[in-house]
Amino acid sequence: MLDKLEAINQRFEEVSQLLIQPDVASDMKKFKALNKEYKDLDKIVTEYKKYKNILSNIDNAKQVIATEKDEDFREMAKEELDELLPQRDAMEETLKELLIPKDPNDSKDIIMEIRAGAGGDEASIFAGDLFRMYSRFAEKHGWKMELMDATEGTSGGYKEIIVGVSGEDVYGKLKFESGVHRVQRVPATETQGRIHTSVASVVVLPEAEEFDVEIDMNDVRKDLFCSSGPGGQSVNTTYSAVRLTHIPTGIVAQCQDQKSQLKNFDKALAVLRSRIYEVELAKKNEAEGAQRKSMVGGGDRSDKIRTYNYPQGRVTDHRIGYTVYNLPAVMDGGIDDFVEELRIAENAERLKEGATAE
């Protein structure tokens, strides 16, 4: 492990030097890639330096115990060693986790799509509840959420809502939210007090940057239409809503949130680019044999991943068998436990894969 860490330290020094070179600063694509690598390596190198310091202190303490004649000094060194050894073990576990190969998309922003499924009006209301849950979670992490497109439900909530979320490690934290979310509760419209089951699907796409996917605009058909929904005077009178169709793949994206046609076009293009990127990524992973249907990620989008049971106040993640009984806190954005448990499960799988490969 030390050899690996030393090699990372050397690469960190190289990248630090490269970032101040004029030719790199003038090449935005190269600069962005190196800057991302610098941030990723910095986390490991910081911990590595702490680890080296602990190892040095352990050696010094052992040296004192072995050579010092004064009993008091030797006793102090033994006490220091008793403190240092657990620190070393904990630091080794931290470093092992940091050395697990990361998903290169983890640091990307995302486009999140939430759609009501089976369950009529109640499914739309639940889709709205999920949107609020993710909004609160984003708020707690200091992320920025921006509406791309939305179709409201007839009794509240959303039939479909698409948002962009930007911040630090957004995809890394929210990628496991993709799948079918199921709610069990008595709907507000239910007079007999019966529990209904409704579902909403969530799709989390890493937001593709321009250099991730090259789109030939000659392959894109642009349709303009009148916005529907809230928006005042300009709604249903100006053709500001934009629908883009990528002809080779048939992938469609639209945006009608802004009054400006130009802003709607930019947002729709961002969604289109990310959808195409996801398709290309899936093809690439399949070709490399990396698209494993794992316990955590890589499963089918139609897989039921989580149940929200209101009468029991229970939320269960079916992929890892993890259950909590604090549903109100979860619906208020408290999904940190799920995010962390799913991350741990993914890391365990990656470690297992690494051990098999070695």
Q: What is the pLDDT, as a whole number, of residue 263?
A: 86
Mark whether 234 and 175 lie in a shared domain. no
In-domain check, residue 12? yes
Residue with tokens 């949130």: 257
Q: What is the pLDDT, as a whole number, of residue 352?
A: 67
In-domain check, residue 105? no
In-domain check, residue 104? no
Interval 10-67: pLDDT, tens: 999 998 998 888 888 888 878 887 887 888 889 889 999 999 999 999 999 999 999 8
Q: What is the pLDDT, as a whole number, of residue 31?
A: 84
Mark whether 268 and 150 lie in a shared domain. no
The enclosing domain of 199 has a CATH number of 3.30.70.1660
In-domain check, residue 290? no
Mark whether 3 and 140 lie in a shared domain. no
Mark whether 119 and 91 lie in a shared domain. no
10-residue block means of pLDDT along the chain (358 residues)? Answer: 84 89 83 83 90 93 89 90 92 82 82 90 94 96 92 91 92 92 86 87 86 82 75 55 90 83 87 87 64 46 85 95 95 94 82 56
In-domain check, residue 239? yes
Mark whether 191 and 237 lie in a shared domain. no
Interval 280-310: pLDDT, tens: 877 766 665 544 444 455 444 567 999 999 9
Name the β-bridge partners of 251: 246
119: left (phi over 0), alpha (psi -120 to 50) or beta: left
Mark whether 299 and 345 lie in a shared domain. yes
- Number of structural domains (the chain) is 3
Contacts of 314 (CB under 8 A, 6+ apart): 307, 308, 323, 324, 325, 327
Angle between helices 2-18 and 28-67 (to 10 degrees): 140
In-domain check, residue 243? yes
Neighbours of 222 (CB within 10 A): 13
Quote the pTM value: 0.70
What HEC string does the chain produce? CHHHHHHHHHHHHHHHHHCCCHHHHCCHHHHHHHHHHHHHHHHHHHHHHHHHHHHHHHHHHHHHHHHCCCHHHHHHHHHHHHHHHHHHHHHHHHHHHHCCCCCCCCCCCEEEEEEECCCHHHHHHHHHHHHHHHHHHHHHCCCEEEEEEEEECECECEEEEEEEEECCCHHHHHHHHCEEEEEEECCCCCCCCCCEEEEEEEEEEECCCCCCCCCCHHHEEEEEECCCCCCHHHCCCCCCEEEEEECCCCEEEEECCCCCHHHHHHHHHHHHHHHHHHHHHHHHHHHCCCCCCCCCCCCCCCCEEEEEECCCCEEEECCCCEEECCHHHHHCCCCHHHHHHHHHHHHHHHHHHHHHHC
Mark whether 310 and 204 lie in a shared domain. yes
CB 170 within 8 A of CB 144: no
Mark whether 32 and 166 lie in a shared domain. no
Of 310, 331, 15, the closest CA to residue 188 belongs to 310
End residue of a domain, out of 257, 283, 309? 283
The enclosing domain of 245 has a CATH number of 3.30.160.20
The enclosing domain of 52 has a CATH number of 1.20.58
Q: What is the pLDDT, as a whole number, of residue 7?
A: 87
Q: What is the pLDDT, as a whole number, of residue 96?
A: 80
Neighbours of 105 (CB within 10 A): 18
Q: What is the pLDDT, as a whole number, of residue 291?
A: 40
In-domain check, residue 36? yes
Mark whether 136 and 278 lie in a shared domain. no
Mark whether 274 and 320 lie in a shared domain. no
Of 197, 178, 353, 187, the closest CA to residue 278 belongs to 178
Tell me the C-alpha distance between 115 and 347, whole Å.
29
Contacts of 344 (CB under 8 A, 6+ apart): none
Mark whether 47 and 85 lie in a shared domain. yes
Tell me the C-alpha distance between 200 and 216, whole Å.
34
Mark whether 206 and 260 lie in a shared domain. no
Question: How far apart, in Å, do the first and last CA atoms of the chain sit?
Answer: 13
End residue of a domain, out of 283, 313, 340? 283
Q: Which domain holds residue 158?
A: 110-210+295-357
In-domain check, residue 305? yes
User: Beta 110-116 vs 158-166: how paired, if at all?
Assistant: antiparallel
End residue of a domain, out of 79, 99, 119? 99
